[in-house]
Structure 1
Amino acid sequence: MRYFEDFPVGEIMERGPYVVTREEIIAFARQFDPQPFHIDEDAAGKSIYGGIIASGWHTAAICHKLMVEGLLGQSAGMGSPGLDELRWKKPVRPGDSLRIRIETLEARPSASKPDRGALKLRLEVVNQNGEVVMTEVANALFARRPPTP
Structure 2
Amino acid sequence: MPSCPRCEASVAEEARFCVQCGAPQTEDAAEELDEYVQRQAEQVAGGGEESNGSDSFADMAELNDREQLWRRGCYVVGYGTVVVALTLVPAVGAFPLILAGIAILPPIRRLTAEPLGSPLKREVMAGLYAIFAVIGAALLFLL
Q: Which structure is higher in strand share?
A: 1
**TM-score normalised according to structure 2 size:** 0.23
Bigger proportion of residues as helix:
2
TM-score normalised by the chain length of structure 1: 0.23
